[in-house]
Structure 1
Amino acid sequence: MAHDNLKIIPLGGLGEFGMNCMALRWKDDILVIDAGLMFPESELLGVDIVVPDISYLVENRRMVRGIVLTHGHEDHIGGLPWILSELNVPVYGTEFTLAYVEGKLEEHKLLDDTELIEIAPGSKFTIGPFTVEPIRVTHSLVDCVALAIETPVGVVVHTGDFKVDLSPPDGKAFDLHKFAEYGKRGVLALLQDSTNVDRPGYTPSEWSVKPRLDEIFSRTKKKLFFSCFSSSIYRMGIALDLAHQHGRKVAIIGRSMVESSEIAQDLGYINISPGLIINPGQIGDHAPENVMVLISGTQGEPMSALSRAAVDNHKHARISPGDTVLLSSRVIPGNEKSIYRVIDHLCRRDAQVIFDDGASGLIHVSGHASQEEQRLMINLLRPKFFIPVHGDYRHLKKHAELAKSMGVVDAAILIEDGDVLEVNANEARKTGKVTAGRVCIDSGSSADVVADIVIRDRRHLSEDGIVLPILTINKLSGKVERLPELVTRGFVGADPAMLEEARKVVGLTLENSSAEEKADYGVIKEKIRIDLKRYIQKNTSRRPLIMPVILEI
């Protein structure tokens, strides 16, 4: 009977924010929802991005029928290049989402080999045994959808990221009616976004930022630098409209901001008045009170346009005393230091900095549903089983409790990455685990996977430094020419007396080794490493990385 259950298998995004990836499996067919990344915590030294471990999909590659994307944020599409390098499957997404995906795949030279299939709200399509209907939802990005997936055991609804905005700037409102229709027909399982489960009430509409932004435009006497997430197309549109109303020309600076604005303009999400946009090189040709600079770098990213402008290191973006810098975004947890560092630099230049400090009026609104909207969705769909997704464990737990307290679901089930939840018309139960976790990527020229041992070594180096015992061995006689040298870097406690003793320890190790051991460089290096490690740990309580080096002369 187990073969006739639908398996719901999260591979990322349940137990952390980011790298959202969910697999639905019916017999020998697997449908994947989203393929995101997350940005690393500071302890993942030197790692650029983190993607989900897709060992399960690779092991079952012949069953994977396609990847369906809910929207174009990095935590939902950023892992695609790494997944598609392992699995050559079609990718389904809305027009705007696929425009972002194309740029990403082109960068990784995967575009020509990938089949991209455009989907639209209300138009059903079939992937194996699954019939999928995208449903229009609103979020901080445009062209976002939830997915109603008809499976052989019932309908599963995956909300993606959403909030209920009935009057978004693009006029494409959240489709309450479609959700209500599915609720009347009956929903087996609802997988719902948990991000803002801590927030009571409703999340304000995107329009709610306009009054405060209008007021800031009115009282800004010199240049206005407007920074928001490059994917905040609604916010960008509002800023451009206000610039036009207040007689300001607009220069767009920062690669991600330029790319997003071009895509949004091409697809009709932003309408720019003729003559409004100027080249960044023309900023100095206009009076400061007639210029707005739309600039990327709202999270204080070290090489972003705003970070460079804040230290006078940008060719075109020059911040002068009296200019206003507006950060229309939230502080993403973990980015506080870099953001406040940029704000400090801006203040040193006598700029007025406005950021989301809880002052009167909104300059940023969330793209995620608060508690009342989450309740509204549960009431509309009245699912048999409720499964919270997208969030740390505490968010998932609180969301499950919220659903239970409403009394409209049969069961609220908490699952995490790697859990296998088997569902049929009568029951849902956890039946096992698959391999899940995170894969660390150094996205240099070759985008290499960083193994755990590498991160461990980096942490080791950062905490206790490195010690290099250098041995000089005569190639002909095989004898050690002189007492070993010790070179240290980043190692605290390396006073001359202690180093001299450490040299003697290495010399003693060599004396007590046979000619055969000395001839085998691998063996002698390991003996030196063990003896030196023991000596240093005993005398300094530190554990530097010890790497013996043998020079032949």
Structure 2
Amino acid sequence: MFDSQKPAEKKSFEGPRRGGDAARPASGAPRRAPRQERRGRLIPSRPARPTDGAGRRPSRTIATAHTHRSIAAREAAHHAPHAPHEHTGDMLRFVPLGGLGEIGRNMMFFEYKNEIVVIDAGLQFPEEETPGVDYIIPNTAYLEERRANIRAIIITHAHYDHIGALPYVMDKLGNPPIYTSVLSRAIIEKRQDDFPNRQKLVFINVKPRDVLQLSNHFKAEFFSVDHTIPESVGVVLSTPAGKVVSL
């Protein structure tokens, strides 16, 4: 029976505290063994991580000093200037000065021993990202140092991206003879009227199927090429190292 005179016994339940720790046992009850000593094994406690003066844990450094040195070494090696390859006497060297992967500034040269043949000398019109620039011409510093070795300049056709740089580089290159078609010659000469102080250009007219000996080591065979301007030509250069076709 229910004794209404006896006050009901109050029971309280203390749930788990925040962080997952069990409720503290009542006074006098034996405390549970530390977690490290349970089940007969000892688990070493994790050492406390150091903190700064404000109680914050410092951020971990991911890259070690060795890693930093390795990255720095790789970057230095990547940006270091490459030493020029030694030019052996029997090797044909091909150097593009412009026109690869871009529109304009077409110019290249072939070098064998002490002889150089240049193909085209064009300019490049500026883009929107280069305000104030009227045109861009190839860097001919290498050729200027060896202008006595230049035997010929071959012009394949008279678009400005193939002839536009001629008034600016011919004097610096020693004014070598220009091999090109009659129409291309006429267009080049007409443009030279805007540069009266330049040297008079020397031309040798060519047409398809012409075979000309340009120097001791270079022979040129010309052929017709379909293009948007008449009298465009391609050339097969024959050298002791082999043949090269330029369209």
TM-score, length of structure 1 as denominator length: 0.28
Q: 1:73 to 1:122 in 2, by over 3 A?
A: same
Q: Tell me what 2:210 maps to.
A: 123
TM superposition shift of 1:85? 2.7
Q: Is the 8 A contact 1:98 1:116 kept in 2?
A: yes
Work out whether 1:64 is the aligned partner of 2:150: yes
Q: How does 1:405-484 map to 2 (within 5 A)?
A: none
Deviation at 1:111, TM superposition (A): 6.5
**Residue 89 (structure 1) aligns with:** 176
Question: Contact 2:208–2:224 (CA<8 Å) still a contact in 1?
Answer: yes
Equivalent pair of 2:167/2:198 in contact (CA under 8 Å):
no
Q: Read off the aligned partner of 1:20 and give its amino acid letter.
A: N
Equivalent residues in 2 for 1:31-180 (5 A)? 31-87=117-173, 88-109=175-196, 113-128=200-215, 129-159=217-247
1:26 matched to which residue of 2? 112
Shift of 1:27: 0.3
Higher fraction of helix: 1
* 1:110 Cα deviation after fit: 5.6
1:189-208 alignment to 2 at 5 Å? none
Distance 1:96 1:84, change over 3 A: same
8 A Cα contact 1:69 1:92, kept in partner: yes
Measure the CA separation in 1 of the matches of 2:184 and 2:194: 16
Three-state SS of the structure 1 residue aligned to 2:142 is: helix
In our comparison, the structure showing a higher alpha carbon Rg is 2
Q: What are the within-5 Å matches in structure 2 for residues 358-397 of structure 1?
A: none
Q: For the residues of structure 1 that align with 2:204 and 2:227, how far apart are their CA atoms?
A: 22
How far is the alpha carbon of 1:45 from its aligned partner?
1.7
Other-structure match for 1:9: 95
The 3 A distance-change label for structure 1 pair 110 and 146 is farther
> 1:86 & 1:47 partners in 2: Cα distance?
21
Q: Which runs of 5+ in 1 are unaligned?
A: 160-553
What is the Cα deviation at residue 3 of structure 1? 1.6
Give, in angstroms, the shift of residue 103 of structure 1. Answer: 1.0
Paired positions, count:
159
What amino acid is the match of 1:59?
Answer: E
Residue 15 of structure 1 and its aligned partner are, at CA, apart by: 3.0
Structure 2 Cα separation of the partners of residues 11 and 28 of structure 1: 19
Quote the Cα distance in structure 2 between the aligned partners of 1:111 and 1:142. Answer: 27
CA deviations 1:20-77 (Å, max 9, x no partner) are: 0011000000000000011001222211111101001001111111210000101000
Higher relative contact order (CA 8 A, sep 6+): 1
Secondary structure of the structure 2 residue equivalent to 1:65:
strand
- 1:290-346 per-position Cα deviation (integer Å, ceiling 9, x unaligned): xxxxxxxxxxxxxxxxxxxxxxxxxxxxxxxxxxxxxxxxxxxxxxxxxxxxxxxxx
Do the aligned partners of residues 110 and 70 (structure 1) sit closer, same or farther apart at CA in structure 2, a change above 3 Å counting? Answer: farther
